[in-house]
Chain A
Amino acid sequence: MQKNDQIHTVKLDKDKCMGCVSCMKRCPTEAIRVRNGKARIHYERCISCGECVRVCPHQAKKVIYDDFSIIEDPRFKYKIALPAPSLYGQFENLDNLNYLIEGLLKIGFDDVYEVARGAELVSEATRTLFDSGKLKKPVISTACPAVVQLILLRFHDLKDNLLPVQAPVDISAKLAREEAAKKTGLKPEEIGIFFISPCPAKIHALHSGLGVSKPTVDGVLSASDIYFRLLPAMKQVEEPRDLSQIGIFGLSWAASGGEAATLLKNKYLAADGMENVLNILKELENGKLNDLEFIELNACIGGCVGGVLNIENPFVARAKLQTRRKYLPVTKNSISQTDKNLDYFVWECEPDVTNVMQLDEDINVAMALLERINKIEKILPMLDCGCCGAPSCRAFAEDVALGEAKITDCHRINVEDLL
């Protein structure tokens, strides 16, 4: 796959959109406007968190992922599925994780590399980095790409607190490809690596390459899509072989607080759900929470089990994972089993902040614009009703000042008062 940060992982189905403003009001980066009765996404602000997909009452927001048929591409001579830890929480009575692995092999994959394995390695690498004393505290988890994008967009000052390790899926993909090439004698590019994603954020991160110099996977599939193929296949499995290679640590990454728990630190915080995440980031920005060592933030309620492409209710999924854990050892993967050193796990390249908040590069131009925005805001009713097609009066003032909306789009002010 080519590195592509222009990819749009959430799209609008215009025919279904009723212009109801539900998505616009919920978007954490104010990336949505409703114009001419239809929602419009400003992609330069979109962090692919999937909030709009979740709240749209008309199913007008679609997540864009690869069609399952991608695995049939003749380029790929050997196909490996990479299930996210949250996938294990989607099924009833899955006391034995091997059913899931066998199921994946039945629906067309030649091999499975569990992302929870990569997660266990990433946990170990993180603990080592902590011990080196070089991390800026509080360290902020980079496991949820929606949170990382949010920080790069709105909280530039916190960028240096981001944990500079690659995502478990990238580590898993790299190791899986290497292992398979060795095992089969095929060229690395003949091996197809497919992640089964719980969310659009991870789809976007895998296309754009977050912390890696080039994308590590060949396709990203949806958990919901796979679920319906997997369920009948799993039912056919009689005696599953002992294939799963993960422990409690890897599995716990599926839910909020799971990553933090694997770091064996006492001073940590785990917050989930966009509103809570935003509150924590604001507190950090105000110089608070400085006594903490680690901060785990997940855009979805409950963590990745709450990903918008999952099937099961996040709390039920979490409960299922808890029962599954008790049959597992603490961890099954360690860096010493690989031939890799710490460098293999840290970011290959740093992600850049995005300057979309900035009105203009020239501070004087920015000042003049800001002055106009503030002036316009003063005459608005500050109801944040959304009737104008902007998520808040403040955002509307910005749109008017930038010429993207007319003051008369606000139906709550008396136009004559303006004259």
Chain B
Amino acid sequence: MSEQTRISLEFDVEGDNFVSAGKASEAVKGNLKMLGLPPTIIRRAAIVMYEGEINMVIHAKGGKAYVDITDKDISITLKDEGPGIENIELAMQEGYSTAPDAIRALGFGAGMGLPNMKKYSDNMEIESEVGKGTTVRMKINIQPDSEGQQQ
């Protein structure tokens, strides 16, 4: 067996830059399309990556994104040194948001990001420490025969 091929991507996500927000997820989508992965997989990856990236921009003044793609799965790690999340369980609830009004006016802050990241990934873990930062790890399985449980 040959060594498993793996595509590793790394992005700096700038904080408070709404104009370029979403650049990392655009690049990831581009890579996935070039591999010809099923549209449903690309869609799920796009959603979780975008929501995670935007969260770092809005809530954590930016961070880093690491994406690993193999023929089995897509692993996404989002790491920031922002304020951290005090109560993860609460943050995971649909509709919970601490986004200020100015940000809501831009259409963010529905409190749906984290719930959707959970819904559209096959596995998600959050580590967070107040004052230190947050790390979100997500995995999406690529199953050519069954298209995953989520729609």
Q: Given the complex of chains A and B, what is the CA–CA distance between A394 and B26 in angstroms?
A: 13
Interchain CB contact under 8 A, B34 and A359: yes
* B interface bracket (residues with beta carbon within 8 Å of A): 20 to 34
Interchain CB contact under 8 A, A287 and B34: no
Q: With an 8 A cutoff between CB atoms, is A349 at the interface?
A: no
Q: With an 8 A cutoff between CB atoms, is A93 at the interface?
A: no
Q: Given the complex of chains A and B, what is the CA–CA distance between A357 and B7 in angstroms?
A: 17
The residues of A that contact B116 with a CB separation of less than 8 Å are 287
Interchain CB contact under 8 A, B40 and A370: no
Q: B2-24, CB under 8 A of A: which get 1 and which 0? A: 00011101000000000000100
Q: Given the complex of chains A and B, what is the CA–CA distance between A157 and B147 in angstroms?
A: 13
Find B35's partner among A157, A363, A394 (CB 8 Å cutoff): A363
Interchain CB contact under 8 A, A157 and B71: no
Find A366's partner among B35, B50, B51 (CB 8 Å cutoff): B35
In A142-179, which residues have CB < 8 Å from any B CB? 154, 156-157, 159
Please tell me which stretch of B41-49, B80-88, B93-101, B131-139 contacts chain A, meaning at least 4 of its Cβ atoms lie within 8 angstroms of it: B41-49
* A interface bracket (residues with beta carbon within 8 Å of B): 20 to 34
Q: With an 8 A cutoff between CB atoms, is A282 at the interface?
A: yes
Known: A285-B46, A287-B43, A287-B116. A374 touches B36 (CB 8 A): no
Q: With an 8 A cutoff between CB atoms, is B141 at the interface?
A: no
Interchain CB contact under 8 A, B39 and A367: no
Interface of A is mostly: helix
The residues of A that contact B29 with a CB separation of less than 8 Å are 285
Interchain CB contact under 8 A, B36 and A370: no
Q: Given the complex of chains A and B, what is the CA–CA distance between A364 and B42 in angstroms?
A: 17
Interchain CB contact under 8 A, A368 and B46: no
Interchain CB contact under 8 A, A357 and B34: yes
Q: With an 8 A cutoff between CB atoms, is B128 at the interface?
A: no
Q: A371-390, CB under 8 A of B: which get 1 and which 0? A: 10110000000000000000
Minimal beta-carbon separation of B92 from chain A (angstroms): 17
Q: With an 8 A cutoff between CB atoms, is A334 at the interface?
A: no
The residues of A that contact B36 with a CB separation of less than 8 Å are 355, 357-361, 363, 366
Give B residues with C-beta under 8 Å from A: 5-7, 9, 22, 25-26, 29-31, 33-37, 39-40, 42-43, 46-47, 50-51, 69, 71, 116, 120
Query: Sorted from nearest, which 5 A-B pairs have the closest CB atoms?
Result: A358-B36, A157-B39, A287-B47, A286-B50, A367-B5
Q: A286-B25, A367-B69 are in contact. List 7 more A-B contacts (CB 8 A).
A: A285-B29, A285-B46, A359-B36, A360-B36, A364-B71, A367-B71, A370-B35
A selection of 21 A-B contacts at a CB cut-off of 8 Å is A156-B42, A157-B40, A282-B22, A286-B47, A287-B47, A287-B116, A357-B34, A357-B36, A358-B36, A359-B36, A366-B36, A367-B5, A367-B7, A368-B5, A369-B34, A370-B7, A373-B34, A374-B7, A374-B9, A374-B31, A394-B30
